[in-house]
Homo-oligomer: A and B are copies of this chain.
């Protein structure tokens, strides 16, 4: 029997945005989602123009998220949006998410969850009150080889995690003159970005990846964060040492002033019996270096029957046909849409509300530690 796609509405993501179009392509690749409505900008005229540009029916291209939530609620059940995607600057995440939850819509929100830890707690409270579903698009957990890494650690065959090294380095804010353009501007403005300097913007991805692959919570950290480029008020460069709850130790670097780096997310997880190594820019290779054995390169592919089911489930092509960032993003959309249908996997393989809040705690802890000269802080 055929299945209709899950209908969704988008808040944010209008003209000039980076991540909004990525969400829309991701949903198209996912194959089980369809965009039916949007409030693409907080500016009513811009929202209208943006909706038209992407082919939204005018009556479902709303001037604000409040209008969208009300408008969609009033539509017949078989037609109204079934979930809402939020892709605004960070400071709008919490109010939009809370409004959506209260209007009865599940929410898939871009990361970080909110602009402040207090706002995150308010979202948590709203989710508890309404019983609504929340997902956070930590894209990188959508890659098959990241899911494979998680499965290998989770199987227990590699033993305990001992050390982790994760870094997320970009160079695109390397100079004062780089911080221009719509997406750069709000990212370095504390009022819109909140705790979202480099540690919020990409540090949370690194943090999430650590917790996702190890299956453990980060328990403590010592951090040093700074605004390295003169004239900035938000952090653009920082590092931390951390502990995992299971006894492992780690280092984390998050910086947007690492000249020459594009999207340099890399992680090594050393367990007792093997080390796992993954680089976002070569996402289809997972190096598995076992004790006393030649190193192995794991790759995805519909014909790689030895892969974990969570990796296989998101592999569209035979081995050697590389999938990338957009497909990883699509995998988050796919799984979230299935959850909206009530077919969530038992152990979800995308970030949920708890992960989103953990991310906010991580940022807050890093700020606190840094402010206190690197003191170790519990998360």
Binary interface encoding of chain A residues 1-31 relative to chain B, with 1 for a CB under 8 A from any of its CBs, else 0: 1111100000000000010011001001101
- How distant is the Cα of A3 from the Cα of B55 in the complex, in angstroms? 7
Q: Which of B162, B174, B299, B306 is close to A257, meaning CB atoms less than 8 Å apart?
A: B162
Please name the residue on chain B nearest to A260 by beta carbon: B289
Query: Is A262's CB under 8 angstroms from B29's CB?
Result: no
Secondary structure of the A side of the interface? loop
Cα distance A305–B325 when bound, in Å?
21
Chain B residues within 8 Å of A327, by CB: 324, 326
Residues of B within 8 A of A55 (CB): 2-5
Segment at the interface with B among A92-100, A186-194, A220-228: A220-228
A46 at the interface (CB under 8 A from B): no
Q: How far is the CA of A241 from the CA of B226 in the complex (A)?
A: 13
From 267 to 323 in chain A, residues with beta carbon under 8 angstroms from any chain B beta carbon are 268, 270-275, 280-284, 288-299, 301, 303, 305-306, 316-323
Taking CB atoms, residues of chain B closer than 8 Å to A28 are 28-29, 31
A77 interface residue, CB < 8 Å from B?
Answer: no
Given A31-B25, A275-B259, A301-B262, check contact A241 B374 (CB 8 Å).
Answer: yes
Q: Are B260 and A249 in contact (CB under 8 A)?
A: no
- Chain B's closest residue to A143 (CB) is B322
Whether B326 and A316, one on each chain, are in contact in the complex, defined by CB atoms closer than 8 angstroms, is yes
- Which of these, B255, B262, B326, contacts A163 with CB under 8 Å? B255
Measured between beta carbons, the chain B residues less than 8 angstroms from A25 are: 29, 31, 316
Known: A270-B259, A273-B259, A298-B294. A320 touches B264 (CB 8 A): yes
Whether B228 contacts A239 by the Cβ 8 Å rule is no
Question: Is A263 positioned at the interface, with any CB of B under 8 Å from its CB?
Answer: yes
**One of A129-137, A165-173, A211-219, A334-342 contacting the partner:** A165-173
How far apart are the CA atoms of A78 and B60 in the complex, in Å? Answer: 23
Closest to A3 in B: B55
Within 8 A of B (CB), among A36-95: 52-55
Query: Roughly how many angstroms separate A241 CA and B242 CA in the complex, as a whole number?
Result: 12
Kindly list chain B residues whose C-beta atoms are within 8 Å of the C-beta of A2: 52-55
CB within 8 Å for A296 and B298 given contacts A239-B249, A258-B162, A326-B327:
no
Decide: B281 and A320 in contact? CB cutoff 8 A.
yes
5 A–B contacts from the bound complex (CB under 8 Å): A25-B29, A171-B275, A241-B241, A263-B319, A321-B324
A25-B316, A260-B295, A321-B325 known; 15 new pairs, CB 8 Å cut-off, are A2-B53, A3-B55, A172-B303, A224-B241, A226-B249, A239-B251, A258-B275, A259-B275, A260-B270, A262-B299, A264-B320, A282-B282, A322-B324, A323-B324, A324-B324
